[in-house]
């Protein structure tokens, strides 16, 4: 006999479920709508009286207007979060998130109780930062992942709201929703709510994830051996899971460290502040985060794409300030050029000395073009000026070992207007002889025109650039047949890429941005080749089929 869990639909202020014995609930709950859920495991306690077998589970909800306190919000990282009076807030009170030293510092909301459910999240924010992001963090099998739920464009003197939905995997642990922004400005939150969409599924513990045997899968690196490298983005945590390691080794011959080589992972604020004189012209750098992934690549004969040296995101704001004090003045051009050159020199030299020949290319500058046109007005742009991209490539060429390929990397780089802006930006760098390749990130979805993409790819190649598809993932809407729709898109995309390459377009590497959907940075869009348990999706079969078809033709 199964234990029945009687789930009373009560509202809980803090997103946590409360387990009570049904016998203890008073008659008031009887008027509340209830649902019964069969427990996952068969009960061995068959003789238990009904009243003791029933558990009332409060359906979790977060519904904060911050009139009476923080609710369940906590400061994230070094940030503090506390309720304040705020004339702009609808009810005169808001949660103020401040003392943000790194851009990821913000506010956390425990979301453990929503495991295995689809949630609808809404929030209302104001900030001098131009955008505030709500994301979710969780781990699956010890691998952490961070997924955006929605972004709100914000201004200082009025609140703007946004909303988004997310299906939290049943295997997720340590589930936290958080508020952050790229800049260090204070964030005010007038309201924040999280509701379960549809029927509540009560999963007090993460469901075990049992990986399938992947050893019989055809190998992508073998299928594409004569055409281009096949790569994958990794994280440190992933390499603790044998099944992931096995699949990576079997399928890929190139690796991109998905986060570990980024400035926020390398820069050491504490050491920098402890000796300002020593570090004034280059913040302190620590390399402990990259070794595990680089050792793995080396041991398995893979090459590494270095990602990334100069970027506006995942780069702490404090490096742009005189004396590294974000409350002070921005550093001037001369100082920022020194910091840029010294940083680039230190990173590429360290890689060369410690892992000679392993990092075959660098994304020297990432995402410098603005979606709205022209160049992104990042802190690099503000402090150095519009030649910062050109200078970065000059320094990279000067300090990188001979033969290292230097790439510009961006998303939506297939879009006509953005492509024009990118080409305008890199044309002088091509003339300087300081750039070798174009990295097309390729975070796509099944609505993107493959022919538009391929036309853009050819145009970059015509500039004499080598092409890398650097961060391929293809999102799809959850509708009937979504897996097949996505599989067909992957097939077509890879077929066209192969044909272009065989027709002389210099495509030399294709990297997928992760292994299984639940750990993708776009987990909601299910954009990768493997299911959570590493089953091959039609997406994987599509990539296999493209190579087989083109080879057979
Ligand atoms: C993503 C990582 O995959 C996430 O884990 C991280 O939280 C955010 O960054 N463009 C890039 C990549 O160049 O570095 C980004 O990677 C995805 C967008």
Q: Which atom of ligand 1 is nearest to the CA of 146?
A: 7
Pocket test of ligand 1: the residue of 259, 311, 409 to mutate, having most ligand atoms within 8 Å of its CB, is 259
CA of 401 to the centre of ligand 1 (A): 26
Pocket test of ligand 1: the residue of 135, 140, 146, 309 to mutate, having most ligand atoms within 8 Å of its CB, is 146
Q: Which atom of ligand 1 is nearest to the CA of 409?
A: 13
514 pLDDT more than 90: yes
21 pLDDT more than 60: no
Quote the pLDDT of residue 40: 38
- The stretch 68-78 carries a mean pLDDT of 93
Binned at pLDDT 50, 70 and 90, residue 52 comes out as low
| Ligand 1 touching residue 259 (CB < 6 A) | yes
- The stretch 237-253 carries a mean pLDDT of 97
- The stretch 495-520 carries a mean pLDDT of 98
Quote the pLDDT of residue 31: 29
Locate tokens 């699949």: which residue? 247
Q: Which residues of 511-531 are buried (b: 16+ CB within 10 A; e: fewer)?
A: bbbbbbbbbbbbbbbbbbbbb
Positive/negative CA dihedral, 182, 186, 188, 194: positive
Within 13 A of 66's CA, how many CA atoms are on the CB side? 27
CA of 521 to the centre of ligand 1 (A): 7
9 pLDDT more than 80: no
pLDDT, tens digit (0-9, with 9 covering 90-100), for 285-314: 999 999 999 999 999 999 999 999 999 999
Cα angle value 546/548/553 (rounded, 5°): 95
Global pTM value: 0.90
Binned at pLDDT 50, 70 and 90, residue 10 comes out as very low
| Ligand 1 touching residue 487 (CB < 6 A) | no
CA of 94 to the centre of ligand 1 (A): 31
| Ligand 1 touching residue 104 (CB < 6 A) | no
pLDDT, tens digit (0-9, with 9 covering 90-100), for 184-210: 999 999 999 999 999 999 999 999 999
Q: Whose CA is nearest to atom 12 of ligand 1?
A: 258
Quote the pLDDT of residue 14: 55
CA of 44 to the centre of ligand 1 (A): 47
Q: Whose CA is nearest to atom 7 of ligand 1?
A: 146
CA of 193 to the centre of ligand 1 (A): 26
| Ligand 1 touching residue 441 (CB < 6 A) | yes
Q: Which atom of ligand 1 is nearest to the CA of 145?
A: 5
500 pLDDT more than 90: yes
Q: Which atom of ligand 1 is nearest to the CA of 470?
A: 13
Contacts of 188 (CB under 8 A, 6+ apart): 84, 86, 88, 89, 94, 95, 96, 97, 125, 126, 127, 159
Mean pLDDT of the chain: 91
Q: What is the distance between the alpha carbons of residues 469 and 438, in angstroms, rounded to a whole number? A: 8
Q: Which residues are catalytic?
A: 367, 471
| Ligand 1 touching residue 366 (CB < 6 A) | yes
Q: Which atom of ligand 1 is nearest to the CA of 520?
A: 3
pLDDT, tens digit (0-9, with 9 covering 90-100), for 324-335: 998 899 999 999
- The stretch 24-30 carries a mean pLDDT of 28
Binned at pLDDT 50, 70 and 90, residue 15 comes out as low
CA of 393 to the centre of ligand 1 (A): 21
CA of 516 to the centre of ligand 1 (A): 15
- Radius of gyration from C-alpha coordinates of the chain: 25
54 pLDDT more than 70: no
Q: What is the DSSP letter of 169?
A: -
Beta strands in 128-218 (DSSP E): 131-140, 143-153, 160-167, 173-180, 187-196
DSSP calls for 293-360: HHHHHHHTT-EEEEEEEE-SSSS-GGGGBGGG-TTSPBPPHHHHHHHHHHHHHHHHHHHHHHSTTTEE
| Ligand 1 touching residue 470 (CB < 6 A) | no
Q: Look up residue 440 and give its two tokens.
A: 């097309």
| Ligand 1 touching residue 412 (CB < 6 A) | no
348 close to 404: Cβ distance less than 8 angstroms? yes
DSSP H helices, 164-268, are: 220-223, 242-251, 263-266
| Ligand 1 touching residue 258 (CB < 6 A) | yes
297 close to 305: Cβ distance less than 8 angstroms? no
* Cα dist from 120 to 150, 196, 330, whole Å: 11, 6, 39
| Ligand 1 touching residue 146 (CB < 6 A) | yes
Q: How many CB atoms lie within 10 A of CB 30?
A: 9
pLDDT, tens digit (0-9, with 9 covering 90-100), for 461-490: 999 999 999 999 999 998 999 999 999 999
Q: Which atom of ligand 1 is nearest to the CA of 262?
A: 14
CA of 411 to the centre of ligand 1 (A): 11
33 pLDDT more than 70: no
Binned at pLDDT 50, 70 and 90, residue 50 comes out as very low
Binned at pLDDT 50, 70 and 90, residue 38 comes out as very low
290 versus 33: which is more confidently predicted? 290
Quote the pLDDT of residue 205: 96
Q: Which residues of 445-468 are buried (b: 16+ CB within 10 A; e: fewer)?
A: ebebebeebbebbebbbeeebbbb
Quote the pLDDT of residue 42: 33
273 close to 306: Cβ distance less than 8 angstroms? no
540 close to 546: Cβ distance less than 8 angstroms? no
37 pLDDT more than 90: no
By three-state DSSP, how is residue 469 classified?
strand
Quote the pLDDT of residue 20: 32
pLDDT, tens digit (0-9, with 9 covering 90-100), for 516-535: 999 999 999 999 999 999 99
CA-closest candidate to residue 283, choices 253, 242, 319, 236? 319
362 pLDDT more than 70: yes
Contacts of 417 (CB under 8 A, 6+ apart): 373
Which percentage of the chain shows pLDDT scores above 90?
87
| Ligand 1 touching residue 237 (CB < 6 A) | no
Q: What is the distance between the alpha carbons of residues 172 and 116, in angstroms, rounded to a whole number? A: 8
Q: Whose CA is nearest to atom 15 of ligand 1?
A: 258
pLDDT, tens digit (0-9, with 9 covering 90-100), for 260-287: 999 999 999 999 999 999 999 999 999 9
pLDDT, tens digit (0-9, with 9 covering 90-100), for 232-244: 999 999 999 999 9
CA of 262 to the centre of ligand 1 (A): 9
């Amino acid at each position: 006999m199964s234990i029945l869990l009687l789930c009373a639909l009560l509202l809980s202020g803090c997103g946590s479920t409360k387990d009570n014995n049904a016998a203890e609930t008073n008659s008031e709950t009887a008027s509340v709508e209830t649902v019964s859920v069969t427990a996952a495991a068969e009960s061995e306690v068959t003789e238990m009286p009904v009243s003791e077998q029933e558990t009332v589970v409060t359906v979790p909800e977060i519904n904060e207007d911050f009139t009476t306190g923080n609710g369940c919000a906590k400061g994230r990282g070094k940030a503090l979060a506390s309720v304040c009076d705020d004339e702009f807030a609808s009810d005169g009170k808001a949660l103020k998130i401040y003392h943000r030293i790194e851009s990821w510092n913000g506010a956390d909301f425990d979301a453990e109780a929503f495991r295995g459910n689809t949630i609808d999240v809404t929030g209302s924010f104001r900030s001098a930062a131009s955008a505030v992001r709500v994301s979710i963090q969780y781990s699956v099998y010890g691998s952490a992942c961070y997924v955006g739920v929605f972004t709100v464009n914000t201004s200082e003197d009025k609140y703007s709201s946004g909303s988004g939905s997310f299906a939290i995997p049943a295997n997720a642990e340590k589930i936290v929703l958080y508020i952050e922004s790229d800049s260090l400005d204070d964030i005010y939150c007038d309201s924040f709510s999280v509701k379960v969409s549809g029927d509540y599924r009560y999963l007090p513990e993460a469901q075990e994830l049992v990986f399938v045997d992947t050893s019989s899968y055809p190998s992508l690196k073998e299928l594409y051996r004569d055409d281009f490298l096949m790569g994958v983005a990794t994280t440190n945590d992933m390499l603790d899971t044998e099944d992931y390691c096995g699949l990576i080794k079997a399928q890929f011959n190139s690796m991109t460290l998905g986060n570990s080589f980024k400035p926020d992972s390398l820069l050491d604020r504490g050491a920098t502040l402890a000796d300002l004189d020593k570090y004034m012209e280059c913040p302190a750098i620590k390399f402990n985060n990259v070794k595990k992934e680089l050792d793995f690549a080396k041991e398995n004969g893979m090459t590494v794409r270095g990602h990334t040296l100069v970027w506006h995101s995942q780069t702490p704001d404090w490096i742009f300030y005189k004396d590294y004090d974000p409350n002070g003045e921005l550093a001037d051009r001369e100082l920022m050029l020194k910091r840029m050159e010294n940083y680039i020199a230190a990173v590429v030299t360290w890689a060369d000395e410690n892992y000679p020949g392993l990092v075959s290319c660098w994304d020297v500058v990432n995402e410098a073009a603005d979606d709205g046109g022209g160049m992104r007005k990042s802190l690099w742009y503000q402090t150095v000026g519009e030649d910062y991209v050109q200078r970065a490539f000059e320094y990279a060429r000067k300090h990188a070992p001979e033969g290292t390929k230097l790439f510009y990397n961006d998303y939506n780089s297939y879009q006509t207007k953005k492509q024009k802006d990118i080409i305008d930006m890199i044309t002088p760098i091509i003339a300087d002889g300081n750039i070798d390749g174009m990295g097309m990130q390729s975070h796509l979805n099944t609505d993107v025109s493959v022919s538009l993409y391929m036309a853009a790819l050819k145009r970059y190649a015509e500039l004499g650039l080598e092409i890398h598809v650097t961060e391929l993932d293809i999102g799809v809407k959850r509708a009937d047949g979504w897996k097949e729709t996505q599989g067909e898109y992957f097939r077509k995309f890879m077929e066209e890429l192969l044909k272009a390459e065989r027709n002389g377009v210099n495509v030399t590497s294709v990297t997928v941005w992760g292994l299984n959907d639940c750990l993708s940075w776009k987990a909601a869009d299910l954009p990768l080749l493997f299911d959570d348990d590493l089953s091959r999706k039609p997406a994987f079969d599509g990539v296999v089929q493209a190579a087989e078809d083109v080879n057979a033709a």
